[in-house]
């Protein structure tokens, strides 16, 4: 087989065979296929797309390009959730304990974040003593015992994806549905998921700016999952404004506790119940989505979800007293309000920019080397559609430096207040179950 022939085949819009796709991925990963040939192939794929069969083959070739995590030692159906990313997205922190309380095994491998706020691990490390540096054996044991554990990223998973993504980034081929869908799905499958729930974000703060594009990506991923034997469902949710009120590590842990307590922000609660229902249903712990949702509401009401969070934190060395006393979480030295400059309604929130403001305070990493300040961030008081009076606070900045003029300026530019009354955007656009 020669790469040049396969590039030509894709250029002329013919379907590649299983062997041909495997040849490309294996030989690109081991360095035998040079970047210039892979670039040409990626661009041909960008223009001509891939068939359903090719997408499934590409995904599995990427899964098999490196190590995979074997979770067979854990009882039950391992359902993983993936979000395409957003600002102040506290869902992972809530969903873990929430579904674990219904005996759905949550075996989460997680990374540190780059950008707006930390990743799930950074957020959890806002709890004193909590560690993800546990052995694989301990990890499996904890999931079997408590139904939930988180371990730091280990192993060389999907090296093909890492190399391809780096090349796509500099060849204008990131924005291709088959390439994005196979990239995301390969990582979930390599991490051991039996079933997958996807939260595909749409809106200003998301990768997919329109609901139509988000739906297309979601359907592509659901099809891949179902074609490779992993039950997959997707929710298309709004990211035209941050989710919940809190953006920042300790602040989001507190928000997660409130939500597990039944006192969380409405949008965050609703999204967690929706995604959670899919997880419980796919794990076969309920026979319908409605039943799954009822069961989730029950474990919030009877305290079992909160109890699962405590057990989880304590089992990994964390100070579980934060659950009953959120004041034990790190707090910032200054709380600075952002008063509205005029009467009106919040028309628009530029989620990305609000995330950047949180990063400027120290809540996220600008580079891999940056050190995160776990205490700082932003708590919104107003969201799209809310009425505001001049002088009333739009949000509270939690900072460890007194002068935050540049952050304030960015925030004023990211929250548009005007006289027209606007409706809050719908949180969930649609969902895809098959």
- Site of interaction with ligand URA (CB under 6 A): 165, 179-180, 183-184
Please give the Cα distance from 294 to 304 (Å, whole number).
14
**Among residues 56, 69, 60, 70, which one has the least CA distance to residue 25?**
60
Q: Among 29, 45, 84, 90, which residue interacts with Ca ion (rule: CB under 5 A)?
A: 90
10 has catalytic annotation: no
Q: How far is the CB of 334 from ligand URA (least distance, A)?
A: 35
Q: How far is the CB of 32 from Ca ion (least distance, A)?
A: 45
88 scored as a contact of Ca ion (CB under 5 A): yes
* Binding track over 218-257 against Ca ion, x by CB under 5 A: --------------------------x-x-----------
Marked catalytic residue, from 10, 187, 201, 398: 187
Who contacts 183 (Cβ-Cβ below 8 Å, separation ≥6)? Answer: 62, 161, 164, 165
**Among residues 433, 380, 153, which one has the least CA distance to residue 251?**
380
Nearer to ligand URA, 114 or 314 (CB): 114
183 has catalytic annotation: yes
Residues of this chain, 29-48, that bind Ca ion according to CB under 5 A: none
Nearer to ligand URA, 111 or 426 (CB): 111
Marked catalytic residue, from 161, 194, 199, 258: 161
Decide: 123 and 248 in contact? Cβ < 8 Å.
Answer: no
Alpha helices in 112-232 (DSSP H): 120-124, 136-146, 159-169, 177-190, 211-227
Tokens 């040079």 — which residue? 34
SS3 430: strand
Nearer to ligand URA, 84 or 311 (CB): 84
How distant is the alpha carbon of residue 321 from its chain centre? 27
Residue 244's binding partner among ligand URA, Ca ion, none (Cβ under 5 to 8 angstroms by kind) is Ca ion
> At residue 225, what are phi and psi to the nearest 5 degrees?
-55, -50
187 has catalytic annotation: yes
Token pair listed for 167: 């090349």
118 scored as a contact of Ca ion (CB under 5 A): no
Q: How far is the CB of 67 from ligand URA (least distance, A)?
A: 18
55 has catalytic annotation: no
SS3 229: coil
SS3 417: strand
What is residue 382's DSSP assignment? Answer: -
319 has catalytic annotation: no
Number of shown-chain residues binding Ca ion (CB under 5 A): 4
**Which residues are known to be catalytic?**
82, 161, 168, 183, 187
């Amino acid at each position: 087989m020669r790469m040049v022939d396969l590039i030509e085949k894709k250029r002329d819009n013919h379907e590649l065979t299983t062997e041909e796709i495997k040849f490309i991925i294996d030989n690109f990963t081991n360095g035998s296929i040079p970047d210039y040939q892979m670039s040409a192939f990626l661009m041909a794929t960008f223009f001509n797309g891939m068939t359903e069969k090719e997408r499934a083959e590409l995904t599995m070739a990427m899964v098999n390009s490196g190590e995979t995590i074997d979770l067979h030692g854990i009882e039950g159906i391992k359902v993983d959730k993936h979000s395409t990313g957003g600002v102040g997205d506290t869902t992972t922190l809530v969903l873990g304990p929430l579904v674990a309380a219904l005996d759905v095994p949550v075996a989460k491998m997680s990374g540190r974040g780059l950008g707006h706020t930390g990743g799930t691990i950074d957020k959890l490390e806002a709890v004193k003593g909590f560690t993800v540096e546990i052995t694989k054996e301990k990890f499996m044991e904890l999931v079997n015992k408590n139904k939930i554990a988180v371990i730091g990223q280990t192993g060389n998973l999907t090296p093909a994806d890492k190399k391809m993504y780096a090349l796509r980034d500099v060849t204008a081929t990131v924005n291709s549905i088959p390439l994005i869908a196979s990239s995301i799905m390969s990582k979930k499958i390599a991490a051991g998921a039996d079933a997958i729930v996807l939260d595909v974000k749409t809106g200003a703060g998301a990768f997919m700016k329109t609901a139509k594009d988000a739906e297309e990506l979601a359907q592509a991923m659901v099809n891949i999952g179902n074609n490779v034997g992993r039950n997959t469902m997707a929710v298309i949710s709004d990211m035209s404004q941050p989710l919940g009120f809190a953006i920042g590590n300790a602040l989001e842990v507190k928000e997660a506790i409130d939500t597990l307590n039944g006192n969380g922000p409405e949008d965050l609660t609703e999204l967690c119940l929706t995604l959670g229902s899919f997880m419980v249903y796919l794990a076969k712990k309920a026979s319908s989505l409605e039943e799954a949702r009822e069961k989730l509401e029950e474990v919030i009401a009877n305290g079992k979800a909160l109890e699962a969070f405590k057990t989880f934190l304590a089992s990994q060395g964390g100070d579980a007293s934060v659950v009953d006393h959120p004041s034990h979480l790190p707090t910032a030295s200054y709380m600075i309000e952002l008063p509205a400059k005029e009467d009106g309604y919040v028309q628009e929130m530029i989620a990305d920019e609000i995330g950047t403001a949180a990063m400027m305070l120290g809540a996220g990493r600008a580079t891999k080397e940056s050190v995160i300040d776990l205490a700082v961030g932003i708590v919104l008081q107003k969201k799209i559609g809310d009425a505001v009076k001049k002088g009333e606070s739009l949000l509270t900045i939690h900072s460890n430096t007194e002068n935050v003029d540049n952050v304030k300026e960015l925030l004023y530019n990211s929250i548009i207040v005007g006289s027209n009354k606007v409706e809050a955007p719908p949180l969930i656009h649609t969902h895809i179950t098959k």
